[in-house]
């Protein structure tokens, strides 16, 4: 009798862990060799001042590689424009992640919410390593699964690696925010975040079909079902999920470092006491995401002054607007540029408080090809997404 490959025991242990609430996915997880889909990856160097990453390149059947591949963690495969497959030994990656193999538990959770049935046509947006496409193809058949990614190399690599263990879903290199490879799907799941929700997805979603996606620059996970009237209705789910946003180039636009130069210590054109305490936007994430929904695209930074422990928060916008808020005995706000970003944040906070600080998972979604919105529980607050 031939011994089972070393990876199968690790994959089964992963399946036992991540499919406890979704047992229908156990077989797919336990029989999908994730280590073959992610042969190399980047690991962040702790406390690196320039956000550097080191390359992880381990033998295929080494205990270290199997442990990493079958642990419920995200493996970053691309940093800036450089894929780990193309890095040389000793090379360091720099910048933000631009592709990854998402932690299996999140993929399973989203796939469970998708509630696909045998015979359904499934669109997997964001091929990445090919792991989610492999799970869908195992469960529903290769012929029923289409996966798309804008990166031609990712598509080529995922297609070849999936084929090594007999999985052959359709995989295409396209801009997923544009036209899709097929006209109709029963289920669409995106492991990239979007804003706006692409009209092409909503045109392609059949009545009764379901969409699971996230809103860019937030961790708001939306599930919505398409009605016969062309409106997909649903809600924000209780469990958050964060994904890289869709991109049309090799890397994301540069951060607003030039605006930060002005905002860092400059006296503002408008200086006043803060209306209330300076929020910690990394702890008060519902306020941070509501602000993003209301005033999209604002870059947020924070630091603590080493001499006295005071916190400072910066808001930066591409049009040159900025705000700096410093806590202390008298919290002060400095603002510059054409828009008053901190005024907008305080307006959002006041309105949220007037609405009893509702939970964000009570936001309702109404998505159409003509335009999509998230609505507060009483309908008095609407955000275009």
The angle formed by the CA atoms of residues 116, 9 and 63, to the nearest 5 degrees, is 120
- Asked if residue 345 lies in contact with residue 284, where contact means CB atoms within 8 angstroms, the answer is no
232-273: pLDDT as tens digits:
999 999 999 999 999 888 888 989 999 999 899 899 999 999
Give, for 323, the enclosing helix (H) or strand (E): strand 322-326
3-state class of 137 per DSSP?
helix
CB burial string 215-228: b at 16+ within 10 A, e below: bbbbbbbbbbbbee
Indicate the pairing of strand 205-215 with strand 185-194.
parallel
Please report the pLDDT score of residue 1 as a whole number.
Answer: 44
pTM of the model: 0.95
The angle formed by the CA atoms of residues 71, 77 and 78, to the nearest 5 degrees, is 155
3-state class of 86 per DSSP?
helix
Give, for 352, the enclosing helix (H) or strand (E): helix 341-354
Residue-level pLDDT, tens digit, the chain, 385 residues:
456 788 999 999 999 999 999 999 999 999 999 999 999 999 999 887 778 999 999 999 899 999 999 999 999 999 999 999 999 988 999 999 999 999 999 999 999 999 999 999 999 999 999 999 999 999 999 999 999 999 999 999 999 999 999 999 999 999 999 999 999 999 999 999 999 999 999 999 999 999 999 999 999 999 999 999 999 999 999 999 999 999 888 888 989 999 999 899 899 999 999 998 899 998 999 999 999 999 999 999 998 877 777 899 999 999 999 999 999 889 999 999 999 999 999 999 999 999 999 999 999 999 999 999 999 999 999 999 9
Residue 362: both structure tokens together:
């009570």
User: What letter does residue 56 receive in the DSSP assignment?
Assistant: E
Annotated active-site residue 99? The verdict is yes
CB burial string 329-359: b at 16+ within 10 A, e below: eebbbbbbbebbbbebbbebbeebeeeeeee
Q: Which domains does the chain have, with CATH numbers?
A: 257-354 (3.30.160)
3-state class of 19 per DSSP?
coil
Comparing C-alpha atoms, which of 120, 119, 144, 145 is closest to residue 131? 145
Please report the pLDDT score of residue 2 as a whole number.
Answer: 54
Active-site pick, 30, 48, 62, 99: 99
How many whole angstroms separate alpha carbon 61 and alpha carbon 238?
A: 38
Please report the pLDDT score of residue 151 as a whole number.
Answer: 96
57-100: pLDDT as tens digits:
999 989 999 999 999 999 999 999 999 999 998 899 999 999 99
User: What spatial distance separates the first Cα and last Cα of the chain, rounded to whole Å?
Assistant: 56
């Amino acid at each position: 009798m031939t011994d089972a490959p070393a990876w199968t025991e690790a994959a089964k242990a992963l399946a036992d862990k991540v499919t406890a609430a979704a047992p229908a996915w156990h077989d797919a997880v336990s029989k999908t060799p994730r280590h073959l889909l992610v042969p190399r990856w980047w690991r962040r160097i702790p406390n690196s001042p320039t956000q550097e990453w080191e390359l992880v390149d381990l033998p295929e059947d080494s205990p270290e590689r199997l442990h990493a591949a079958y642990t419920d963690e995200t493996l970053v495969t691309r940093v800036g424009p450089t894929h780990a497959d193309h890095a040389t030994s000793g090379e360091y990656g720099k910048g933000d992640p631009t592709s990854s193999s998402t932690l299996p538990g999140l993929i399973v959770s989203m796939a469970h919410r998708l509630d696909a049935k045998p015979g359904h046509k499934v669109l997997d947006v964001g091929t990445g390593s090919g792991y989610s496409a492999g799970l869908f193809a195992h469960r529903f058949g290769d012929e029923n699964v289409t996966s798309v990614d804008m990166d031609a190399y990712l598509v080529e690599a995922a297609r070849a690696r999936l084929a090594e263990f007999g999985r052959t879903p359709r995989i295409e290199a396209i801009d997923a925010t544009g036209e899709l490879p097929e006209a109709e799907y029963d289920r669409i799941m995106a492991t990239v975040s979007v804003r706006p929700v692409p009209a092409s997805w909503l045109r392609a979603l059949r009545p009764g079909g379901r969409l699971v996606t996230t809103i860019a620059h937030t961790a708001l996970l939306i599930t919505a079902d398409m009605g016969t009237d062309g409106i997909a209705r649903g809600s924000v789910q209780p469990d958050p999920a964060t994904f890289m946003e869709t991109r049309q180039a090799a890397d994301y636009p540069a951060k607003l470092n030039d605006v930060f130069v002005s905002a860092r210590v400059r006296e503002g054109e408008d200086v006043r006491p803060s209306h209330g305490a300076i929020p910690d936007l990394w702890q008060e994430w519902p306020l941070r995401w509501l602000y993003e929904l209301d005033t999209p695209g604002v870059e947020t930074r924070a630091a603590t002054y080493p001499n006295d422990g005071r916190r400072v928060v910066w808001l930066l916008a591409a049009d040159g607007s900025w705000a700096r808020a410093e806590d202390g005995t008298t919290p002060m706000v400095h603002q510059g540029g054409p828009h008053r970003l901190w005024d907008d944040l305080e307006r959002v906070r006041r309105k949220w408080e007037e609405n009893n600080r509702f939970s964000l998972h009570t936001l309702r979604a109404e998505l159409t090809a003509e335009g999509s919105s998230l609505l507060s529980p009483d309908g008095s607050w609407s955000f275009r997404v």
